[in-house]
Amino acid sequence: MSTTIAPLSTAAATTGISLDTSRLASKENLQAAGQKFESIFTGMMLKSMRAAKLGDGLFDSKGEQQFRDMQDQKLAEQMAAHAPIGIGKAMTDFLSKAAAAQAPEPPADSEGTKP
């Protein structure tokens, strides 16, 4: 019993990144991706700010640090949803323009003009 596997493009085979862009067609998917991207970006920014502390507190512990990280993650999600800094919208705009550029043009009618 043999099975055939459709060949992957070189980029997808070497990087493991999907080249499926069908999800870009939905405005809701783009907005959700932009918000999630902004949340991750803001969370990384908060984590970097926490790592730049100048000294250890008297009562700092791993448990407190873990809860602070969870609080920062939730704060980043809330900031992205209610007070975005704009990087998610910029990414959404870029992806929607890229998807529009890749969309096939409508076929010309019999007179050679577009509808």
- Is residue 112 included in any domain, yes or no? no
**How many angstroms separate the CA atoms of 102 and 108, rounded?**
18
Q: Average pLDDT across each block of 10 residues of the chain; the chain has 115 residues. List them in order.
A: 50 65 72 87 88 73 86 89 83 80 64 56
- The confidence score (pLDDT) of residue 27 equals 79
- The confidence score (pLDDT) of residue 35 equals 87
- Is residue 51 included in any domain, yes or no? yes
- The confidence score (pLDDT) of residue 88 equals 84
- Is residue 71 included in any domain, yes or no? yes
- The confidence score (pLDDT) of residue 109 equals 59
Structural domain for 93, as ranges: 23-102
- Is residue 108 included in any domain, yes or no? no
- The confidence score (pLDDT) of residue 112 equals 55
- The total number of structural domains that make up the chain: 1
Nearest by Cα to 78 from 47, 43, 27, 31: 43
The length of the chain in residues reads 115
